[in-house]
Amino acid sequence: MFGAANSLSDLFISDRLKRRKAHFIKVSIKIETGETRTVTLLHYLGWPLNSTPPSAKRLLEFRRKARRAGSPVVICPDGASRSGAYCLIDSLISAYSKGKEPKPAELLSALRDQRMKERIELTL
């Protein structure tokens, strides 16, 4: 889609900028309806499925970039493993940076509860 523009009724979407780094891709997408917004897509390449990230340093660098980009939507193909681990890591770091002492097991349970609630609501 890079360099392309798509229009659906009153919605216009176009790629604005694409940058490839060693371990992630950054794409800025302009979305126009009655107003114009730019959405930043960050695709992390350094975390193979069913494994741990080979570099904690690169994952933390990616996290810093993602936090600067705005409110995240975190996804992975199966919707649980890497995205869930990333959300847990992000939540723990955020809590520690605010001087809190989170309990990782409780936080993980809360993340799982949110995921399950959304899936249940989707089926109703």
- Return per-residue pLDDT of the chain as tens, 124 residues: 445 555 556 767 776 668 888 888 888 888 888 888 888 888 888 888 888 889 999 999 999 989 988 877 787 776 668 888 888 999 999 999 999 999 999 988 888 777 666 655 665 5
Does residue 87 carry a catalytic annotation?
no
pLDDT of residue 33: 83
Active-site residue (options: 25, 76, 85, 108)? 76
pLDDT of residue 1: 47
Domain locations in the chain as residue ranges: 8-114
Looking at domain 8-114, its CATH superfamily turns out to be Protein tyrosine phosphatase superfamily (3.90.190.10)
Instruction: Spell out a b/e string for 87-110, using b for 16 or more CB atoms within 10 Å of the CB, else e.
Output: bbbebbeeeeeeeeebeeeeebee
pLDDT of residue 71: 77
Residue listed under structure tokens 């970039």: 65
